[in-house]
Amino acid sequence: MGRRLLSIWFPRLASEASLRNRPVEGPFALIHRSGHADHLHCLNKAAEQRGLHRGMALADARAIYPDLSTRPANLAREAASLVGLRRWVSRYAPMVASDGTDGLIADITGVAHLFGGEAELQDDLHARIERAGLTALSAIADTRGAAYALARHGGGIIPEGALAKGTAHLPVSALRIDHATADGLGRVGLSRIGDLIAQPRAPLGRRFGAFLLLRLDQLLGYQPEPVSAGTEPPHFGVRMTLPEPIGLQSDVMAGLARLLDRLCATLALHHQGARRLRLELRRVDHGTAQVEIGLARPMRDPARIAALFSKGVDEVDAGFGIDAMRLSAPVTEPMPPEQTGSGPAQRHQDDLADLVSRLGNRIGFDHVLRLAPSDSKIPERSFHMTAAAWSEPVAAPLRRGPLRPATLFLSEPVTHASGNPPVRFRWRRMEFTTLRAHGPERITPEWWFDDPAWRSGLRDYWRIETREGPRLWLFHTPQAPDWRVQGEFV
């Protein structure tokens, strides 16, 4: 028995996936920005019937059909749709691989008889795809190149040993060659694959390159072209079906604890830690409730994760009862095995991560910030704010020179200052008397930043110890006599 391959092409996969949940009447297209203009990425059948095609500039498409409905293309969702279809097509073949961004290739050698033959397998495939609301063309042949070419030009089945005859009528562009080579072949009268098969190979190779001959040999089976499905990414999800409906928070948390034990064991097996977890609760009335949490750092500790679910589970409307639970980790990160300890440093890190997780789930992880040092001598730019959940704490670099205040704020004016440095001054409606003064520390503006606050030029900073207690950081500019406070020492 010879090798048999099935090629499936989804010409409108991206647009049909986008329209599944948000249908649109009439011509529709997904657009993708390329260069300095938007182009049509994927169209529905109605748009193609208006003369629009993939790759056309959006401005040209609007000129042809002004009422065209559009949405931005989501390449990640398109790739996820193809991955889901690849898993589904595995019902027809033990080995299925992606073939470009809109196609699949499956090795059905020795499988077709289970469906009654190749034609019956193809009919069953198309019936199921049509019920799913997708458009597909497929072809079966001895080689990957022949199946690919036929699937994108009408589909069908090429009998064993009839590759040259079955592909002779197809255009040369079906060989998976670039447009320039296809146009060059057309200009010399070689527009069909059958025309190429009849030509001497040496002149073709000299004029159009060895790649053309490679594609032709792959189509005819003279050069092997393997089908490799690749490694299936691990799926981190567990489920539980309950014998009796439950509704109490304690019962849901008990079921969640069992699911977490199983999920965290799977995560540990793959050296992964969860960054986002989703708990789906199915009610007996077929409704669903969902609780989703984020984590400040990768984690697979069931007890600590369960505590973060408590508030969300308490707010779930159980209705007439919950009869099934599903827990998944849609976002994970590598987390190699590590030696855990119970020392103060480890407990401090765990407590901080739990605090950031609780705050992030309440107000959003982008609103929980930490300070990180920056390489700048300017006080206002010596640090920057970063999200605590997506960054690691960084110790301030060791610096030489005068001390810097522990508290830094926007500069505030000082009034009734006398002397340099001031002996007495008024700040925040309080009178201060200088006990000791250390300075000055001269800081120059960074000329590559146009900061309005530093347009006055140099600043001379002084550390002032006051008789009243506060230790302040004051500065003034040589060009201006006014004094201002910008920080306070501990």
Q: Tens digits of per-residue pLDDT, 435-477?
A: 999 988 888 888 777 777 777 778 899 999 999 999 999 998 8
- DSSP state, residue 192: B
d(CA 349, CA 338): 14
How many helices (H) and strands (E) in the chain? 14, 20
Helix (H) or strand (E) holding 321: none
- Reading phi first (left if > 0) and then psi (alpha if -120 to 50, else beta), residue 479 is in alpha
Between vectors from CA 295 to CA 289 and to CA 298, what angle results, nearest 5°? 125
Answer yes or no: are the C-beta atoms of 275 and 353 closer than 8 Å.
no
Q: How many other CB atoms are there within 10 angstroms of residue 251's CB atom?
A: 16
| Tokens read off for 146 | 């022949």
Q: Is the peptide bond preceding residue 421 cis, with omega within 30 degrees of 0? A: yes
User: What is the maximum span of the chain, computed from C-alpha positions, in angstroms?
Assistant: 103
- In this prediction, residue 342 carries a pLDDT of 55
The side-by-side arrangement of strands in the sheet containing 69-72 is 37-43, 28-34, 69-72
Sign of CA pseudo-dihedral 325, 331, 336, 338: negative
- In this prediction, residue 343 carries a pLDDT of 64
Q: What is the pLDDT of residues 221-235, one digit of tens each?
A: 999 888 887 666 788
Q: What is the pLDDT of residues 334-380, one digit of tens each?
A: 988 765 555 676 677 778 888 888 888 888 888 888 888 877 778 87
Residues of the chain with pLDDT under 50: none
Neighbouring residues of 160: CB distance < 8 A, sequence distance ≥ 6: 2, 4, 142
Question: Mean pLDDT for the chain?
Answer: 89
Q: What stretches of 50-140 show up as alpha helix (H) in DSSP?
A: 58-64, 75-89, 118-131
d(CA 96, CA 108): 9
